[in-house]
Amino acid sequence: MKGRITLSLIKPYAVKNGYAGQILAIINEAGFRISAMKYIQLSTNQAKKFYAIHNGQNYFDKLVNFITEGPVVVLLLEKEDAVASYRKLIGATDPHKAEDGTLRKLFGASIELNAVHGSDSDENAIRESNFFFSETERF
Ligand code: ATP
Ligand code: MG
């Protein structure tokens, strides 16, 4: 059975440019329920842990720098088949390749500044939601 949760980050670039409100509105209109949300700045250590799977890639240091350069909005989202549904809403990793109307097409600037993160599997959705939220922070 497909999972009902996914974890999203509105990345610092998008927050800094004032896109968070519009992104939240689109997420709501797409039928996701926000079951937890926080506004925080990640430490370098937290970012390295969050992106551990990318450690060793040539873009790893840049990735850590971009995600820690300012606050992010962390969202735990709920919907049927949440992971796939949200990946569809955000579009391809590279905004230039993302479909029209997707969050990355609308608000991303480049593969590094691609506005939002979305979990890529049910397993990672659970791992990432436990990384950011305790039980009492979920509604
Ligand atoms: P995210 O995990 O942020 O939702 P994604 O699952 O579409 O994005 P991943 O392959 O998990 O893509 O890459 C994580 C992040 O690393 C991307 O969002 C992007 O910012 C960065 N990244 C991935 N590939 C590259 C690359 N070739 N060059 C530069 N940055 C990259
Ligand atoms: Mg990913």
Ligand 1 pocket, residue 59 CB under 6 Å = yes
Q: Which residues of 26-42 are buried (b: 16+ CB within 10 A; e: fewer)?
A: bbeeeebeebbbeeeeb
> What is the average pLDDT across 15-30?
98
Say if ligand 1 is within 6 A of residue 114 CB: yes
Whole-angstrom distance, CA of residue 103 vs CA of residue 98: 9
Q: What local confidence, expressed as pLDDT, does residue 132 receive?
A: 98
What the block records as the tokens of 127 is 């791992």
Give tens-digit pLDDT for 28-42: 999 999 999 999 999
Residue 97: HSE in the Cβ half-sphere, 13 Å Cα cutoff: 4
Q: β-pairing, 33-40 with 5-10?
A: unpaired
Residue 1 has pLDDT above 90, yes or no: no
Q: What is the DSSP letter of 122?
A: H
**Closest ligand 1 atom to 92 CA:** 7
Q: Is the pLDDT of residue 115 over 80?
A: yes
Per-residue pLDDT, 92: 98
User: 51 lies in which domain range?
Assistant: 5-137
Predicted pLDDT at 6 = 98
For residue 93, the ligand 1 atom closest to its alpha carbon is 7
Catalytic pick among 117, 118, 129, 133: 117
Q: Taking Cα atoms as reference points, which of 41, 26, 46, 35 lies closest to residue 7?
A: 35
Structural contact between residues 84 and 122, judged by C-beta atoms closer than 8 angstroms: no
* Secondary structure of residue 34 in the 3-state scheme: strand
Give the rounded percent of residues in the chain with a pLDDT score beyond 90: 99
Query: Ligand 1: which of 7, 93, 99 to mutate, judged by most atoms within 8 Å of the beta carbon?
Result: 93
Average confidence (pLDDT) over 101-126: 98
Ranges of H-type helices in the chain: 12-16, 20-29, 44-50, 60-68, 82-90, 103-107, 122-132
Domain count within the chain? 1
93 Cα: distance to centroid of ligand 1 (angstroms): 6
> Model pTM?
0.96
Residues 66-93 have pLDDT tens digits of 999 999 999 999 999 999 999 999 999 9
Q: What is the CATH number of the domain that holds 107?
A: 3.30.70.141
- How much of the chain exceeds pLDDT 70, in percent? 100
Report the pLDDT value the prediction gives residue 39, as an integer from 0 to 100.
Answer: 98
Find the 119 Cα to ligand 2 centroid distance in Å: 6
